[in-house]
Amino acid sequence: MRFAYNEKHYTVAELAVLWDLSEDTIRRLFRHEPGVLVLSRARSSKRRYTTLRIPESVALRVHQKLSVVNQ
């Protein structure tokens, strides 16, 4: 699967507002989704900081998957 580098990439906060969900829920939905950019950096403290950038095509795919009505 190929993604255009110049397509819109959403932050977790942007999708949380658009989808009316918490940022934690958005992180859980997209953390292991193919195509999501995951940027991690270790700090001198114990906590690891991770930034997600979610391409528009991935957001659309997940939204469609979640919108499927059971028949």
**15-50 pLDDT, tens digit each:** 999 999 999 999 999 999 999 998 887 666 677 788
Helix and strand numbers (H, E) in the chain are 3, 3
- The dihedral region occupied by 63, where left means phi > 0, alpha psi between -120 and 50, and beta the remainder, is alpha
pLDDT for the residue 3 = 57
Q: What mean pLDDT is predicted for residues 60-64?
A: 94
Count the neighbouring beta carbons within 10 Å of the beta carbon of residue 36.
19
pTM of the model: 0.80
Taking alpha carbons only, the member of 14, 1, 2, 4 closest to residue 53 is: 14
Report yes or no: 54 and 30 within 8 Å, Cβ to Cβ. Answer: yes
Place of tokens 């979640």: 66
Q: Supply the mean pLDDT for the chain.
A: 87
